[in-house]
Amino acid sequence: MKLVCTRSNHGSNVWRFTEGKEYRMHGVIEYDAHVFDDNGLELWLYKYDGVIKGAGIIGYTFAEIKK
């Protein structure tokens, strides 16, 4: 599944995502979803109220790119 970063607020986070950039989600959202950032670091994801977010971290949201 491909995702687009819809919110990227780095703050003191080590992850670096670019708003509007596409990223490939690895795994499945219900079990082991994760994505790699621009620096090659791995961020685990979860879905809440239809929004895909970075697990345990504030500042990163993603949306599924529909085919």
pTM (2 decimals)? 0.88
pLDDT tens track for 17-62:
999 999 999 999 989 999 999 999 999 999 999 899 999 888 899 9
Q: How confident is the model at residue 3 (pLDDT cuts 50, 70, 90)?
A: very high
pLDDT for the residue numbered 35: 97
Q: Where are the extended beta strands (E) located within 1-67?
A: 2-8, 22-24, 34-36, 42-48, 51-54, 60-64
